[in-house]
Amino acid sequence: MDYRKILSILFYIAIISVSVVYSQSALPIEREWLAIQPRVGYMLNFHSSSLSGLNNIQECGIFTHGVGSAINFGLSLESPLSSQLYAGINIGLKNRNGTLYQESNPIYPILNATTNTVTNAEFENRIASSLQYLDVSPEIKYHILDIGKSSVRVGAKGIIAFPISPTFTQSQQIVQPDNATYVKTQTQTIAISSENESIKNITSPLIGAGLSIENLLPVGKSSAFTQQVSLEYMFNNITTTESWKVFSIMAELGLRFSLQKSPELPPPPPPVKKDTVIPPPIVTYKPEPIKPLPILTARIDSLNAILQTGNELRASLPLVNAVFFELNGSEIPSRYITDPDAKFEADSAVEFHRAILRSMANIMKQNPKATLVLEGSTSGSEEKDGIALAKKRAENVESALERLGVSKDRIAIKASVNPRVASNQEFPEGREENRRVEIVVNDAPLQEYVARQKFVQIKGEMVLDIDAKYLENETIHALTNVVPEQTFAGTERRKVAFTQRLQSDEGLFKITLEANVPPRLNSNDEAGIELTTLKRELIELSLISFDAILRFDYNSSEMTIPNKELLKQLIEKLPAGATIEILGSADILGQEQRNKELSERRAKTTEAFVRSISGTKFNITSGVVNDKFDDSKPEGRFLNRSIRIRVK
């Protein structure tokens, strides 16, 4: 291809860019009803063919491709359908000419007249075509954006092209050797057809389609300088007997003239009678009322309380005696507490698991004859280091326990690919659970299940008196140290009950109240009660706070010996006639119905054992747990393999 043609298109694009930058005023198209646009452009044609000649003139070889270029002219008419959509028709004179070539040049033997020898010569066959068409193209254009004061539009069109005297010239040229000529013409080129011979079997009309992008640069009140780049493809062949198609790229410049509707004139003002005096308008200013400042007052009123003392039965938080590891990891995860001096408080068994190593160290300290076995394991084939990784995990747990004060000679290590009681490897949660070090305690109880302990608490009620004025639908937040946050919509007296555990039954007990409307209003109050002045109530044994958990092995409902011992502890400390509620639970691994059946079976097995050792001493019910632990963590799933025991 001639590189000058490519440079021409690049120069054309540069003109569009400069036009966009320097455009000064937008074209007023809101009143346009018709636009006329003459255009001139430069067209590059790319031919794809499979023909051996035209008009039955045959030549050895197939003409497969070609290229050509020409100047074209056109006229467009268009009318707006909306503020962004336009419909129009284009009429243009276009030359889709091109010179066709073969895929490779043929080589024939020729006679060297000088040396009287035969040598091979390379020939180039070509068909130079001139394909003038009258195009009629209905088109739709859409305004996509404005850049500066210029408008950019995209278009799609259909093409109906009628041929006008198409001609061709078929020729052959000697390429090598350089000094070879035809005997007849004494030149290196010979015509195979007549010059500008008419093409027979021309297709009429050609049908095609095109896409375009156009920039409009306003140059006057109702005219614009246009620059357009378009692509055109003709669907049918140029001749009816040969395979010959053409694809074109076209760059055009034009002047667009907009025909505008006349603007509507405003109606004339009503006539003013002579000698009529129009008084100036009377403006009355009404000052806005001054809003009073909002007021908020909060008080503690009508405080009454009693002091309750006595004993209660509580179950210790269950321990998940294992440390869980990351995939292919042997370092103890940072969520576990390994510092003996770190401050830590937990109100749930899942959170309490973070201190499992410190709990194990305390058990060993309280039981000098106890020993530990650390059973390291993996999740199977996905952890390639196998037993070596399991052993390294156990060794790291051993080192952490040593730092917490456990002597190394009281610890034994075992390592295996799979744990002694493995979770289901088919589930990612099961594989996560198997990546663990299980801590087995010998010659010491893992936990004290049931404890009878004393308690002191204050129980009473009070009135929160909120007085709010001049607030505008704002919420009042009331915070105390004995009840959850209360919210108020305005002035209100609200009675609330409270119960608060105490460290001692003596001294001054304070209740604080802070009411606020963030961020600007707040009011505080406090009330004190001398505990020694309160009426006292003795509770022999409170069961309200009792909530115990017994763990089971994975996928099992069989009662273990430690579980039976813990249940015996409970039976010994409960008063006759108490109601024992036994609720079964299971983790999320496997099918939901299967887990429900397993939960029920665990509850029934536990109920049967309690009845076997207590007879008719207690009222016993069983069911399924609804408030389960967090199944997203392995320790939560271990805790869900359990039964809950509550006493009333």
Q: What is the C-alpha to C-alpha distance for residues 570 and 578, in angstroms, rounded to an integer?
A: 12
Q: Which residues of 331-363 are buried (b: 16+ CB within 10 A; e: fewer)?
A: ebeeebbbeeeeeeeeeebbebbbbbbbbbbeb
User: Closest by alpha carbon to 542, among 575, 589, 565, 496?
Assistant: 575
Residue-level pLDDT at 24: 43
Radius of gyration of the chain (CA): 49
Residue-level pLDDT at 637: 93
Which residue carries 């536990």 as its tokens? 606
pLDDT at 25 over 60: no
Least confident of 190-199, 456-465, 496-505, 524-533: 190-199
Q: pLDDT tens-digit profile of 388-440? A: 999 999 999 999 999 999 999 999 999 999 999 999 999 999 999 999 999 99
Own/partner pairs for 415-418, CB < 8 Å, 24+ apart?
415/375, 415/376, 415/377, 415/387, 415/388, 415/390, 415/391, 416/375, 416/376, 416/377, 416/387, 416/390, 417/377, 417/378, 417/380, 417/386, 417/387, 417/390, 418/377, 418/378, 418/380
The DSSP call for residue 286 is -
Alpha helices in 111-258 (DSSP H): none
The CATH fold of domain 546-647: 60s Ribosomal Protein L30; Chain: A; (3.30.1330)
Q: Using DSSP, state whether 404 is helix, strand or coil.
A: coil
How buried is 221 (Cβ within 10 angstroms: 0-12 exposed, 13-18 middle, 19+ buried)?
exposed
Q: What is the C-alpha to C-alpha distance for residues 271 and 17, in angstroms, rounded to an integer?
A: 54
pLDDT at 21 over 60: no
Confidence of residue 68 (pLDDT cuts 50, 70, 90): very high
Q: pLDDT tens-digit profile of 319-329? A: 899 999 999 99
User: Closest by alpha carbon to 435, among 461, 452, 451, 416?
Assistant: 416
The tokens describing 605, both together, are: 């097995």
Residue-level pLDDT at 498: 95
319-446 against 546-647: fold identical: yes
Q: What is the mean pLDDT of residues 310-336?
A: 90
Helices (H) and strands (E) in the chain, counts: 8, 28
Contacts of 56 (CB under 8 A, 6+ apart): none
The tokens describing 8, both together, are: 């021409």
Q: What is the mean pLDDT of residues 197-217?
A: 91
Confidence of residue 72 (pLDDT cuts 50, 70, 90): very high
- The CA–CA distances, whole Å, from 574 to 544, 588, 614, 620 equal 13, 33, 11, 13
The CATH fold of domain 3-260: Porin (2.40.160)
CATH of the domain spanning 319-446, picked from 3.40.50.300, 3.90.1150.10, 3.30.1330.60, 2.60.120.260: 3.30.1330.60
Domain 295-311+451-541: state its class.
mainly beta
- The CA–CA distances, whole Å, from 187 to 115, 213, 313, 329 equal 19, 47, 121, 85
Q: pLDDT tens-digit profile of 98-118? A: 998 888 887 778 777 777 788
The DSSP call for residue 577 is T
Tell me if 247 sits within 8 A of 233, measured CB to CB: yes
Q: What is the pTM of this model?
A: 0.47
Domain ranges of the chain: 3-260, 295-311+451-541, 319-446, 546-647
Which residue carries 């809003």 as its tokens? 291
